[in-house]
Amino acid sequence: MKIGSKITLFYTSITIGINLLIILAFYLFTSRYINLLFDMNLCDKVYLTAQKHFEKDELDMRSYNMITDKYLSLLPQANEIILNASDSASAQKVLDRYLTSKQQHELYHNMVLFSKDKLRGVALYYPDNEGNFIVLVTAQNVYGQNLKKHILYLSLGLLLFSVLITFAVGRFYSERILSPLKHILVNLKKIRGNNMELRLTETGNKDELDDLIHSLNEMLDRLDRAFQSEKSFVSSASHEMSNPLTAIQGECEITLMKERDTHEYTDALQRIYSESKRMSLLIKHLLFLSRNGDDLSNDELMLVKLNRMLIDLANVDARIVFTDRTSGPISIMANPHFLQIAIQNILNNAIKYSEKQVDLVLKLVDGHPLIEIEDKGIGIPAKEIPLIFQSFYRASNTHEYVGHGIGLALSSKILHIYHGRITVDSQENVYTRFNIYFG
């Protein structure tokens, strides 16, 4: 069942339930009031009956005529029974037909209301100077029953009408509410890999649906960026991997064209080995870049002593000069293998693009470790600095140097996992300084 139908049925059911309770309460209250009003009329009728029959000799004519007029106008369909209480046997026989023994006992103290089949009645013990009498008045509440029946039919009709109105309004309003959702579904189905630029149009109502559309558009933006990044990554990776493969195939073809001496075969195998090593390193870097950050952060972590690690890295090349400006051992939680790869990639770039000394400095800033790597090489064009951490990006002044444009992207990803932040300051053909801040 669709959401619109569920909403309509849900609110229609609630309306039926509420209206039923209201109608039931109204009907019970009205019925009770009609019965109470009829009993009051019966009580008045029994008094008027007693006064009409036994008070004529005690009242003036005007007062008696008023009682007679009221008697005739009130419940004219009522039946009257007058019993002489002194004739106990005859009175008892009639009373047994209408009253229980308890009601008969109470009769001599209070007026008694009773029911007999469809009749409603009242009994009154009336002592008079002519004797003691018992007056019974009975009547059927035909008007009251008809009134209650009409009220019930009217209530059920109003209930049916309200259900139909609620269903129609609920159907209309649910369709109106859900129309933006249908619009969203229609447009989402149009989005494919070849038209990721499509976006949903907001309604302008500033409501939850607008928030949903805004969130979906942001998600589509992220997916579009990831999709474009993946396409670029695959294209660049394919290009980078094809170069060493082409070189290996070409070397093999040239070597196999004719017989060669041992020295020539050795040189050819050396070149093939160099290209295969280059491709192997590229594959390792690509596999590392493809790993999820959560997977990397869950790898084995331990306390890494930065002082010791940087000394070992500085010993790789004589041009690296390490300066420790801390007063003692500095450690961070990381995977030592990955952290070493990240820092070594930056050092390798500094050595590659500079023929002079590379300064490696460890110090503390506000109690947090800071690693500075500075070279006096070709530098980085200012407008390209924000782009150097993108996969396969190489600055415009590095084309004559061997490389894939993966090292800095790899370093940035690793350092980010271990809460490291990289900033770059460079002036073309003067210097380049990388600051790695942990904190």
Encode pLDDT of 13-72 as tens digits.
888 888 889 989 999 999 999 999 999 999 999 999 999 888 887 888 888 899 889 989
Residue 234: pLDDT band (50, 70, 90) is low
Q: Is the pLDDT of residue 297 over 60?
A: no
pLDDT digits (tens, 9 = 90+) for 377-414: 999 999 999 988 887 788 888 888 877 777 888 888 88
CATH of region 293-438: 3.30.565.10
73-80 mean pLDDT? 91
Side-chain-facing half-sphere of 141: CA atoms under 13 Å: 22
CATH 3.30.565.10 domain extents, the chain? 293-438
Q: Is the pLDDT of residue 305 over 80?
A: yes
* Rounded Cα–Cα distance for residues 144 and 6 (Å): 42
* Rounded Cα–Cα distance for residues 221 and 198 (Å): 10
Q: What is the pLDDT of residue 231?
A: 67
Residue 239: pLDDT band (50, 70, 90) is low
* Tokens (6 digits) for 407: 């090292």
Q: What is the pLDDT of residue 41?
A: 94
407 in Cβ contact with 388 (< 8 Å): no
pLDDT digits (tens, 9 = 90+) for 131-180: 899 999 999 999 999 999 999 899 888 888 888 888 888 888 777 777 77
For tokens 């506000």, the residue is: 366
* Rounded Cα–Cα distance for residues 192 and 231 (Å): 15
User: By C-alpha distance, which of 162, 418, 129 is closest to 298?
Assistant: 418
For the chain, percent of residues with pLDDT exceeding 70: 91
Fold of 208-290: Helix Hairpins (1.10.287)
82-106 mean pLDDT? 90
Residue 416: pLDDT band (50, 70, 90) is confident
* Tokens (6 digits) for 116: 């007999």
360-385 mean pLDDT? 93
CATH 1.10.287.130 domain extents, the chain? 208-290
* Rounded Cα–Cα distance for residues 158 and 149 (Å): 14
Amino acid in the structure at residue 189? K
Q: Please state which of the ranges 116-130, 206-220, 279-293 shows the lowest mean pLDDT.
A: 279-293
Residue 86: pLDDT band (50, 70, 90) is confident
388 in Cβ contact with 424 (< 8 Å): yes
